Structure 1
């Protein structure tokens, strides 16, 4: 693991779009939590999902 303290974030697989909880390190490295070998599709490339209010599903949108 890279040096320094990590922060929790959400990443998306660059190949299939699967989303995982992850750790982001000060050097920019991201590591999905519990997925040390990469995504289930075989990819090892991920990008951080940017925080967006539209990504949150509200109760009234579920009905």
Structure 2
């Protein structure tokens, strides 16, 4: 099984910029479960989001 590393993830600040919201909002969403569909995880005090998950939501493919 492939493990997710920070190199294939976005930091919370990057996700905030992509969504046009504050870093505080993204961290709060991750902490209270409102961003569960983005599959956030922490390494120490840093919050990361898998690029494939975020990219799929930001730029959905139209069939």
TM-score normalised by the chain length of structure 2: 0.23
Which protein shows a greater Rg? 1
Higher RCO (Cα < 8 Å, 6 or more apart): 2
Greater share of strand? 1
Pick the structure with more helix per residue.
2
